[in-house]
Amino acid sequence: MPERNGHVLLGVNALILGYLPAAWKSPRLTADAFHSGDYWRQIGAIAERGTLDALFLADSPSLGNPGQDANPAKLDPTVTWAHVARHTSHIGLIATASTTFNDPFELAERILTLDVVSGGRAGWNLVTSRDPQAAANFGLDGVPTREERYARGAEFADAVVGLWDSARTGEELSLDGEHLRVSGRLCAPASPQGRPVLFQAGGSPQGRALAGRLADGVFTAELTTETAVPHYQLVKDAAQQYGRTRDEVKILPGLLLSLGSTEEEARRRSDELHEASPAAYSARWLSQAIGFDVSTLDLDEKFPSEVLDAPLDPATFTGSIGFRESILQKIRATGPTVREYLRETRYSGSGHGGFVGTPEQLADRIEEWYRLGAWDGVNLQPDVLLEGLEVIADEVVPILRRRGLYRHEYETSTLRGHFQAAGPSA
């Protein structure tokens, strides 16, 4: 495999209790864990013990469906991370927040405030929202079309970045767009890291263009290196087209984890957690992800062409295009029956990639994809957050260090500094 300078970037997507619905059954969790300040303090302390680069936490403007969402209730990430910032000194703290149901001035101020009080460790993961229930919560009759959401999202990103810069330069932002009008400047102090780190989530053409133009990182979904390597190059190419260097935007796909001391133990753990989850969880999630009711299919037949080859109508499909493409590409390549695929998602991931195995095997996966140029790093998503995060910090990170792929201690104190210290891309 080719040599690469620097080290891999490691993030953890803190999915409240874990990515599987049965995570709440962990004997280490209390009934009020997710809204306990001490729980989040533990998460920050463990991540920093492993010298991880960043923690991600998503906002949710509506109550989720427990049949499709392992964590249907969520707290505001910027407030949660402000609490964690008080008890940590180096870990980056990234809040996922929507451009569809937020105001750019208010969000820019909130993220910059977190950045200032954390000493330059804040980031924003930009998403658009597609949930009709969220729209109703904001007094709207429905969700804007995909094109409208992305157009507003692009203007929103320009507004937020311009407002962050206004805090440094003292110059007012004047933006008069088709979807947004913003005039003024933030009153907060300038960012200790220049500006908060900006992530873009997703793999659509509009998302790639936005990432190439403005983002410092992309939180994407990839299932195979055959699709990940070309997507990696597309985003890097887009950055160059906008006059930036290829290294200015980092690619960190998500990876769902179940870890054990042996592969057999890890698979047993994954099976037990899946079987303790709602019986229809996998089928419901897959139906939402690909835009087809999987419950109508024969479990012991292969996916029909009406599913695999159906043209996508962006105007009516409400899911993630990136997730849908990665799932259908994997199904086409392997040709499983519906039952086989639903079982395989326990081990290979759904929209995000999946991994079931030992810490050593996970280090192999991280190293292989990094050296192939499929990612600059990875956003790890444990099945049970608290337990999985400890294994990452205490077992996976030391293996990566021994291989020369990860630092032994923090070399920088800001999130942007962590990204820059990771070294140039191949």
Annotated binding site for FMN: 59, 96, 150, 204
Angle between helical axes of 77-86 and 37-49 (0-180°, round to 10): 60
| Distance (Å, whole) CA 242 – CA 213 | 6
The residue type found at 321 is I
d(CA 100, CA 201): 14
Question: Interior CA angle at 361 toward 359 and 365, to 5°?
Answer: 115
Q: Is the dihedral of CA 154, 159, 164, 165 positive or negative?
A: positive
What does DSSP assign to residue 279?
T
Which residue reads 């499909």 in tokens?
317
Task: Give the angle 398-124-19 at the CA atoms, nearest 5°.
Answer: 55
> Per this entry, what is the length of the chain?
426
CA distance 279 to 235: 38
**Helix, strand, or coil (residue 70):** coil
* Three-class SS of 85-149: HHCCCCCEEEEEEECCCCCHHHHHHHHHHHHHHHCCCEEEEEECCCCHHHHHHCCCCCCCCHHHH
Contact 128, 100 (CB under 8 A): yes
Tokens of 24: 């709440």
Residues annotated in the binding site, as ranges? 59, 96, 150, 204
Indicate the SS3 state at residue 197.
strand
Residue 403 neighbours by CB distance under 10 Å: 14
Cβ 77 vs Cβ 58: under 8 Å: yes
